[in-house]
Amino acid sequence: MKTLYILFLFTIFSFYYYSSSSLTNQVTNEFIILINSQSHIYILSQIHNASTFIPTYIPLLYTHSYISSISNWYAIYPIFSSIIHQYPQLKWLFICEPQTRMNLIELIKYAEKSKDFYIGHGLYDLEPSIIHHYSFSLDNPYPDLSSGILISRHVLTLFIDRLKSYTKKIDFIIDVKYELNQLINELTGIKLLDRSDIFCNKYKHNCLTWFDGQYDYSCQRTDIQLDDLYIGIKTFIDFHNTRIDLLKKTWLNDKLNYNLFTNEINKTIDNKNERFIILKENTERGHCHKTFSILNYFYENKENFQYLIIVDDDTLLSIQRILRLIQCFMLSNDIPIVLGERYGYGDYYDYPTGGSGMIFNRQAVGQIISNCQCPLPDTPDDMFLGLCLKRINIPLIHISELHQAQPNAYSKDWLDHQKPISFHKFEGINVEEVYQTYLHEEPSIEIKYHHEKDEF
Ligand SMILES: *[C@@H]1O[C@H](CO)[C@@H](O)[C@H](O)[C@H]1NC(C)=O
Ligand SMILES: *[C@@H]1O[C@H](CO)[C@@H](O)[C@H](O)[C@H]1NC(C)=O
């Protein structure tokens, strides 16, 4: 299917090339577009939709094409030096998302008028954020990749040069756009020029770039429904009447197929709830044993289910949006696939961070449990999974609508152009209010359970 698709893309490109070659533009390789991409046919088809607007004399690069040569390719800056080597004539690099749209002619004109620059749509934190290591400054914006970032050759070459002698250790990759900005600031001394007026993250008249807000994972695959999903929730006796109650007041309902994996039941409140599964080992932190117990339980006892979702007892979800995600991404039961919010551990490996929810198909679960075993019961589960996925060569697909923290940890301007799928942690928020504001959807007619179909 993939090969066919690439052939198809190639045909379209060639057609476009011949039909547009009467234009005066020739290949100069001075203006280059780098798309923050991933190797999945759904994402590639979005890029294909975008690329029909891009003439073939503009080189179009994909971050994921560096996957085999650069381990932390998804942090973007590690591939800068390869790009400069590949395109020595490069004058401007435009980095954007698959759904970024642009008025290319005007954007290039704009670039040609400017000299040394680093320009985009500035995002601002309103308070110190955990995902930015609590570093905080009101007057130093970081770019929204959705609007694209324009970087000049000068900034790039300075950056590459100084990165060679940069000795500070980069432990965790959490928020790529923020960390990229920090590193550019630190290495080149150049700050982002915030031109939100022309680098837009929503469509407006006179924008050079904008974000196609139509993107909300609607693939209309009615063969996968809510009752094809199985949910494993990691919990602990102390939270049964607090966090689990809040889950039940928000997204968790009895129609869903789920179990609560815990250490012990509370006889006064839990005895009638047969959804509990009691595990031998109790770990308060680093849930490797718990997560692998869920993987094993799913694989051995839930043979009729193809899809597994693992969440914490303080993860807020939109289960409808999870379903839509699965309808778009789980295209084959034979190909292992894992969806999550990608964090990176240096240049060693990336992993689906646990709190925002991890999504697997059966094939992936089978390969994980037959190839990897927790080193210790309390090894961090998500990081160990990342290591395991790397070992067995299953690429993780990053979903930027999954969130490891509460809404206020993210720029509002950035959250505004997505439909969030999850948030995590209950501290400092009104749980039900956050759920209603960001995640609740009235069930639509397409979202139904198989067993309800008969009733229509
Ligand atoms: C690509 O564009 C076509 C036509 O507008 C649309 O039907 C299709 O859903 C788009 N694909 C994606 C993945 O957005
Ligand atoms: C069990 O639940 C009761 C009622 O909510 C609570 O008061 C008690 O502390 C719980 N016991 C344990 C061991 O968590």
Q: Whose CA is nearest to atom 7 of ligand 2?
A: 268
Could you say which architecture CATH assigns to the domain 2-211?
Alpha-Beta Complex (3.90)
Instruction: Name all residues whose Cβ lies below 6 A of ligand 1.
Output: 45-46, 49
Q: Which long-range contacts (CB under 8 A, 24 or more apart) does 368-376 make?
A: 368/295, 368/392, 368/394, 369/292, 369/295, 369/296, 369/299, 373/292, 374/288, 374/289, 374/292, 375/288, 376/286, 376/288
User: Which of 27, 179, 157 shows the shortest CA–CA distance to 83?
Assistant: 157
Structure tokens at 96: 């954007």
Quick check: 283 and 291 in contact, CB under 8 A? Answer: no
CA of 200 to the centre of ligand 1 (A): 22
Closest C-alpha residue for ligand 2 atom 5: 241
Pocket test for ligand 1, best of 45, 49, 99 (most atoms within 8 A of CB): 49
Instruction: Please give the chain's pLDDT, 456 residues, in tens.
Output: 444 444 444 444 443 443 343 344 577 899 999 999 999 999 999 888 878 888 889 999 999 999 999 999 999 999 999 999 999 999 999 999 999 999 999 999 999 998 768 999 999 998 899 999 888 877 899 999 999 999 999 999 999 999 999 988 888 999 999 999 999 999 999 999 999 999 999 999 999 999 986 667 888 788 999 999 999 999 999 999 999 999 999 999 999 999 999 999 998 888 777 899 999 876 667 789 999 999 999 999 999 999 999 999 999 999 999 999 999 999 999 999 999 999 999 999 999 999 999 999 999 999 999 999 999 998 999 999 999 999 999 999 999 999 999 999 999 999 999 999 999 999 999 999 999 999 999 876 555 556 554 433
Q: How far is the CA of 238 from the centre of ligand 2 (A)?
A: 7
Residues whose beta carbon lies within 6 Å of some atom of ligand 2: 237-238, 241, 266, 268-269
Among 222, 218, 224, 230, smallest CA distance to 42 is for: 218
Domain boundaries, the chain: 2-211, 226-438
Q: How far is the CA of 268 from the centre of ligand 2 (A)?
A: 7
Ligand number, closest to the Cα atom of 236 = 2
Distance 53 CA to ligand 1 centre (A): 13
Examine domains 2-211 and 226-438 and report if their fold is the same.
Answer: yes
226-438 in CATH: which number? 3.90.550.50
